[in-house]
Every structure is written in C-alpha cells, then in structure tokens.
Structure 1
Amino acid sequence: MKIQLWSIGKENDAYIRDGIAVFQKRLQHYTDFELKLIPTVKQAASLSVPELKKAEAKMIMDMLQPQDYLLALDEHGKMHTTLQLADFLQQRANAGTRQLIILIGGAYGIDNSLLERAQLKMSLSPLTFPHQLVRLIMTEQIYRAYTVLNREKYHHQ
C-alpha cells in the first residue's frame, strides 16, 4: 500500500523538513510513503473563506483517483490512539487498498464536499497545531504505527 500525506500550504521550515526526512527514511522499510505539498490557490487573498475552501477542494478532487482511500484530518473527526491507527493501516492493507491519501487541509480547514468524499475523518487532538507541525506528527505516527505492527521496540505500551 502506498501512503501519501497531502498538505496544502507552503514549504516546510528546515527543522520540520529534517524531522520528516528522518521518519520518511525509516518508513522505507515498511511502506511506500510520500509527502506531497500542494501550493495554495492562486489569488487566495482575494477569495472569501468559503470560496477558498471550495477552490482547494476542487484542486484536491481533481488530483484524487476514484480508488484512492481518503483520510481527512479534521477537527470534528474521530480521535484515534496509535494502536488504533496501526490497526487501521493493517485493515487497509488487508482490504487491498492501493493508495491511502491522508489530507491536511488549508488554513481554514477542508470543504464539506471533500469531507463527504473522505472514507474516514480523523482528529489528531482538540488542540490546534500549525500545519507544518501536523505533517511531522503524522509522519512520525505512521512510522510508530508500523513499528507496532512489526512488534518493534519504538512504541512503549
């Protein structure tokens, strides 16, 4: 199964980029993983928030393939433990999912049309994090989930 972490926004700061690189390298042992940064919509500042979210949703929908499994990170989604995330990844692999897309929306979140397309909506926390940090957190959590599945010592239970 290929896992892609899609995120709308600017390039990562050096410390975030370095942290993601560490976990991307480690993930190579378990799965095909890619971070895909999606540039913000052109003339975003001239759009209202609903218009911006719709434009972002259209851009994402155009990139998705019909068979892609979409997990949307959303503040109203269900929270999962690391063990539940590991179980979810195993279930997706067992179900024959070819590509899992984990989406971090834009600055104002994800448009409802895209949330309706998502097969799973997940929240990381009731706290608000910068999107760059969420990229690092998700990359680390995917790595951690794979170490759980492989009964390695990284995750302490």
Structure 2
Amino acid sequence: MDVTFLCVGNLKESYFRDGVKEYEKRLSRFAKINIIEVSEVQIPNNASVSDEYKIMDKEGQLILSKLPKDCYIFVLDRKGNFLSSEELAGKIEEIMTYGKSRIVFIIGGYLGLSDEIKRKAQCPLSFSKMTFPHQLMRLVLCEQVYRGFKIMNHETYHK
C-alpha cells in the first residue's frame, strides 16, 4: 500500500515538520509513505475573485502534474464528508481490499482547491466546518491516517 500526501506549500515551522516527520515514521510500518509538495502561487494583496480562481487553477495544474496514476483520491474540503476515525479506517481498509493500492490525500493552499481537483476526488473529506491553516491540517491528517491504520490492525492508540 502506498499512501501519498500531496500538499500545496511547504511546512515553514519546525514544530509542524517535526510532527509530520514523526507520523511519517510511524506510518512507514503500515505503508510506503510519500509526501509531495508543490509550490504555492503567490496571492497579490488586492487579488480579485477572478485572480483567486486563476491561482487555484495554477496550483491545481501543479497538483495534477504530481498526481500518481491509478490512485484513490481524497481531497480535504470544508464541504466534504465528515468521517469518524473508525469510518476513515474502514474506508482505507475497503480501498486496500477491493480498490487501489495507492491512496492520495490532497491538501490545497491558502485559497483551497480548484474545481478540477475536487472533481477528481473519490472522497472529499472535511474535518470541520471551520477553516484551518493547511500546514496544521497536514499534521492532523497524518495523525488521523496513522490512527486509521492502528484501528485497522486492532492496535491500541485510538481511544
């Protein structure tokens, strides 16, 4: 099983990098882990709505250029599905058993994801109706995927 985290932007703060690195190490016991970063497109100070859509489209093209072939795609989106940790674990297990050998989790940048990327997703996923910094969401997502693998393997951790 390959699990890829495809993210817009890089982790600037060392505490986020350290946290993600720790979960990457823990997850490597269960799957091959790939973290792919694509560059954020700079947003002008007085960007119009049209400019923002163009930026999301540019970032979307960068994501598409790095998207592995033949994979199951989750995107993080405020309008996505709310899943419990157990439901996420079940979804990953179902994909592993009956679907693909590659799972990709896509985290957009400051403005979110382009419509094209959202349409490619088999599972839009939301952690809350609130908006979170994408750097923080990478850490939270890595932790939840790790939690999911622990649940699938009937190992203690998740309670």
TM score, norm. by length of structure 2: 0.90
Residue 54 (structure 2) aligned to one of 51, 54, 60: 51
1:22 alignment partner in structure 2? 22
State the one-letter code of the partner of 2:86.
L
Counterparts of 1:51-130 in structure 2, within 5 Å, are 51-130=54-133
Between the aligned residues of both structures, percent identity stands at 29
State the one-letter code of the partner of 1:45.
P
Q: How many residues align?
A: 155
1:5 match: secondary structure: strand
Counterparts of 1:127-142 in structure 2, within 5 Å, are 127-142=130-145
Distance 1:29 1:11 in 2: 23
Q: Are the aligned partners of 2:9 and 2:37 in contact in 1 as well (CA < 8 Å)?
A: yes
- Taking a change above 3 Å as real, the CA distance of residues 5 and 65 of structure 1, as seen in their structure-2 partners, is closer
Q: Are the aligned partners of 1:70 and 1:103 in contact in 2 as well (CA < 8 Å)?
A: yes
Distance 2:74 2:128 in 1: 15
2:150 alignment partner in structure 1? 147
Distance 2:129 2:91 in 1: 21
2:44 match: secondary structure: helix
| Unaligned residue ranges in structure 1 (runs of 5+) | none
State the one-letter code of the partner of 2:14.
A
State the one-letter code of the partner of 1:10.
N
Q: Are the aligned partners of 1:10 and 1:39 in contact in 2 as well (CA < 8 Å)?
A: yes
